[in-house]
Amino acid sequence: MLNLANLAEEVQMAYRRRIKLKKGDFVDEANATTESDIEETFKKLVGQLNKSPQEVFDELKKQIVDLVVTAHPTQCVRRSPLQKHGKVRDCLQQLYVKDITPDDKKELDEALQREIQAAFRTDEIRRTPPTPQDEMRAGMSYFQETIWKGVPKFLRRVDTALNNIGVNKRVPYNAPLVQFSSWMGGDRDGNPRVTPEVTRDVCLLARMMAANLYYSQIENLMFELSMWRCSAELLARAHELHKCSRKEHAKHYIEFWKQIPSNEPYRVVLGDAIAEGSLLDFLRQVSTFGLSLVRLDIRQESDRHTDVIDAITKHLGLGSYREWSEEQRQEWLLSELSGKRPLFGTDLPKTEEISNALETFKVISELPSDNFGRAYSLHHWDSCTRRLNSA
């Protein structure tokens, strides 16, 4: 019941905000409910802080906000109620449409009643403990249903706000402003069931979902980009690809199952790989999400790292790494990092904890680097890092 009340309040606040924006009657910024106004922020930078519009634009392009998605085994909400809540929200938003007819309203009321009854009859609580893979699937559902389409909309809103302060440029597609990281399947402090195999699974799961989203987006673009006029370079590329597509292993796309017309070069090029409309949104999605959709942070308590290195130094007859001073640790680690020989062999004695930590590093080395955050080697020991050698 509280979830439904929150949904109704959110939709009402968003509606009131749109009305106020149309009338321009915000008394002060405190009345701007639920979301901050990007354009108002830009205007304050120009008007109150004496920044030029070009300075705002140049600095904006350098900004990256990293949003981290996390989950706890006791807080993993089932996707079924989330989807039903989303349908309730859609019905409520349509009820606020200005030119809604009586028949439309009646049908929406009936649909709303059905969705609410279905939500009440759906169990919100998992009756079995979720696996880390379950947590990742639940987290990825937000990307699939909301974030994937929300990022291009947000960046277009930024473009509009820039235009309203006199910047007649769009945010470059390769300056996404926002990126996403995740602890699901990588946080070894919060969930003891996260193993190296789980880390591999969640990384591959995210890449598979990204591939499916891109594939669907490419097909949508193929229906939009029907133009035949193009540059000589694109035309030459299209002719080259069209010749290759005559082979038996040519790809087929929904209603383009026969053959993509050779006189529509944009569709030919998109059929192989994959403006200012959907293509720009697509480029921004590629820049934001990459091939991994979300970057995984690998986190573990730093004492586990010390245990591993201590076992290695003892095996090599160098003494106990744990008993060394900070200066000794740093000197030895730097010398080993600059060397080319392997640090240890297969005969290294390992406890279960040491084997798990080493296997985690092996998984990280085998997976594509874009699966992990830019500083994943630091993040790995981030939660309880106490000294420089722990990083």
- Per-residue pLDDT of 230-280, as tens digits, reads 778 877 877 776 676 555 444 444 444 445 566 666 666 665 444 567 778
Work out whether the CA dihedral 260, 266, 268, 271 comes out positive or negative. negative
Average pLDDT over residues 179-207: 87
Over residues 205-229, the mean pLDDT reads 83
Q: Which of 128-142, 169-183, 238-252, 331-345 has the lowest mean pLDDT?
A: 238-252
Model pLDDT, residue 32: 46
Rg (CA), the chain: 26
Model confidence at 72: pLDDT above 50 = yes
36 pLDDT more than 70: no
- With beta carbons less than 8 A apart as the criterion, state whether 330 and 389 touch: yes
In the predicted structure, residue 356 carries a pLDDT above the cut 60: yes
pLDDT of residue 113: 92
Q: Is the pLDDT of residue 29 over 50?
A: no
Kindly give, in sequence order, each residue whose CB lies less than 8 Å from that of residue 322, ignoring residues fewer than 6 positions away. 306, 307, 310
pLDDT for the residue 129: 76
Mean pLDDT of 292-319: 90
Q: Is the pTM of this model over 0.85?
A: no
CA distance 246 to 337: 51
8 neighbors 95 (Cβ within 8 angstroms): no
Euclidean distance between CA atoms 364 and 367, whole angstroms: 6
Per-residue model confidence (pLDDT) at position 209 = 92
**Residue 380 pLDDT greater than 60, yes or no:** no
- Tell me, what amino acid is at 382? D
Give the model confidence (pLDDT) of 172-186 as tens digits: 988 889 999 998 888
Q: 270 φ, ψ to 5°?
A: -65, -35
274-297 average pLDDT score: 84
Q: Which of 61-70, 96-105, 111-120, 272-281 has the lowest mean pLDDT?
A: 272-281
pLDDT score for 80: 80
| Block residue for tokens 């790292």 | 305
pLDDT in tens, 75-84: 556 778 878 8
3-state secondary structure at position 68: strand
- pLDDT at residue 122, as a whole number: 83
